[in-house]
Amino acid sequence: MRGNSTSINLTATENRTIIAEGVEMVFQAGQQRFQVLKGIDWEVKRGDIQLLMGPSGSGKTTLLSILAGLLTPTVGQVYLLGEEITSMSPAQLTRFRRQNIGFIFQGFNLFPALTAAENVEVVLNVKGIRGSRARYQAKALLDQVGLSLQANQKPRDLSGGQKQRVAIARALADNPPIIMADEPTAALDSESGHNVIELLRRLAKEGGCTVLMVTHDPRIIDVADRVAYLEDGTLRAK
Ligand SMILES: Nc1ncnc2c1ncn2[C@@H]1O[C@H](COP(=O)(O)OP(=O)(O)O)[C@@H](O)[C@H]1O
Ligand SMILES: [Mg+2]
């Protein structure tokens, strides 16, 4: 994954999974220029559950998308696992994302025609795991999120909480070192919300996974290692 991307000193970054330096984001709509992020310097430590909070419209989803390499900042650098993603080519970035980041974004993005198990399998396939190995791992991932009995159901036959758990099973496919989640419990009832939180906590604390999450859920604040607030385009830790 080196390619043309810049690697910074790994000993200096090994405990910092995510680093943002001077990140700014400006959206342009016609003559209107709207600066959402004004100079974000940030580090997320390995194995932490890091929350990102802030008012609606403050730029949380924008920042998460930039840190995930889904959106290019107007100014600034992002390093993930010691690699500068902001200097990667689109192809390098896609490969890097597939190998290293599990996404739980809003909306479930499940394929309606596929069963829960098949929805997980396609993600494994993209990661190069195929055939019976993919079927076996998809089953194991659905077990892990408590959906063994729903493996052969299609999204329309699943509740909101169950769909979200399929989305989480997909994000966990092939044990990515980084999980990024945008309000993962927002659409869930209290029990499935609790299950999802417990699962994310276990991943970080037992799996060494770094979890970066946008959330308003007070139950997640209880299990978080750190909370950062985004307001007026700048970040403050608390
Ligand atoms: N692609 C875009 N083009 C123009 N404006 C955008 C775009 N994406 C987000 N915005 C604006 O940026 C601001 C921050 O949006 P967002 O990151 O979704 O906030 P949050 O997730 O904190 O609610 C909002 O005012 C939103 O309208
Ligand atoms: Mg948002």
Mean pLDDT of 37-60: 95
Residue 62, strand partner residues: none
Ligand 1 centroid to residue 26 C-alpha, Å: 10
Q: How far is the CA of 12 from the centre of ligand 2 (A)?
A: 31
Question: What is the atom index within ligand 1 of the atom nearest the CA of 64?
Answer: 17
Mutate to test the pocket of ligand 1, among 27, 67, 70 (most ligand atoms within 8 A of CB): 27
**Percent of the chain whose pLDDT exceeds 90:** 65
For a mutational test of ligand 1's pocket, the pick from 56, 62, 67, i.e. the residue with the most ligand atoms closer than 8 A to its C-beta, is: 62
Q: Does residue 233 register a pLDDT over 90?
A: yes
Nearest ligand to the CA atom of 105: 2
**What tens digit of pLDDT does each residue of 184-228 get?**
887 777 887 888 888 888 888 888 899 999 998 888 888 899 999
State the pLDDT confidence band at 3, using cuts at 50, 70 and 90. very low
Helix runs in the chain, H state only: 10-13, 60-67, 90-100, 116-126, 131-144, 160-172, 190-207, 218-223
Residue 174 has a pLDDT of 86
Long-range pairs, 65-71, Cβ under 8 A, ≥24: 66/20, 66/23, 66/25, 66/37, 67/18, 67/20, 67/180, 67/212, 68/97, 68/101, 68/103, 68/180, 69/93, 69/96, 69/97, 69/101, 70/97, 71/25
> What's the pLDDT tens digit per position in 143-192?
988 899 999 999 999 988 889 889 989 998 888 999 999 988 877 778 87
Average pLDDT, the chain: 89
8 A C-beta contact, residue 152 and residue 186: no
HSE-CB at 2 with a 13 A cutoff on CA atoms is 3
Q: Which of 174, 179, 236 is nearest to 212 (CA)?
A: 179
- Does the beta carbon of 62 lie inside 6 Å of ligand 1? yes
Is this structure's pTM higher than 0.85? yes
Q: Assess whether the C-beta atom of 60 lies below 6 angstroms from ligand 1.
A: yes
pLDDT at residue 4 in the model = 47
Q: Assign domain 47-69+89-237 to a CATH class.
A: alpha beta
